Amino acid sequence: MAVMAPTYDESVTRDDRDPIRLLAVRDTPLSVDEVFGAVGDDAAGGTALFVGTVRDHDGGPAAVTGLSYSAHPTAEAELRRVAEKVAADFPVRALAAVHRVGDLAVGDLAVVVAVSCPHRAEAFAACRRLIDDLKHEVPIWKHQTFEDGQEEWVGA
């Protein structure tokens, strides 16, 4: 089955010309301020931010009580690939994406992504592509638990 990837964070080693400012898969709580701060750029006229949180339902009859995210060891490489594609397809000035792994409770932050571009429409479009492609292409899975004792893997 899936293994939890080690904490990965390449913000320390990035090239200053690289618009990808922060990419991380972490087992510690996420910070909106950190992600937002990473995409600050004087040439950007628009910044779009998406925050994904653990919700208390998933369409079934029982409430979600918590979940656990697991990541394949290649998750960080896939996250980098997705980010590079977004940066190539849009006029990205700065981009950041951080996903949580491990046990999360309802209300916890699961993912935070942000993109800065010269204009707001570009920032919105790039941010949407970033989160959509992250969700569909990066091998991170969630295991949900419900108040009735049932469990379910999603995306595995």
Q: Cα separation of 147 and 140, whole Å?
A: 23
Q: What is the pTM of this model?
A: 0.88
Mean pLDDT by 10 residues, the chain (156 residues): 42 66 98 98 98 90 92 97 98 98 97 98 99 98 93 82
pLDDT computed for residue 7 by the predictor: 43
Residues with Cβ within 8 Å of residue 6, at least 6 apart in sequence: none
Residue 107 · residue 33 · CB < 8 Å: no
- Provide the pLDDT for residue 15: 56
pLDDT value for 130: 99
pLDDT given at position 34: 98
> Measured at the alpha carbon of residue 114, what is the angle toward residues 109 and 115, in degrees to the nearest 5?
170
Q: What domains lie within the chain, and their CATH numbers?
A: 18-154 (3.90.1170.40)
* pLDDT at 59 (0 to 100): 79
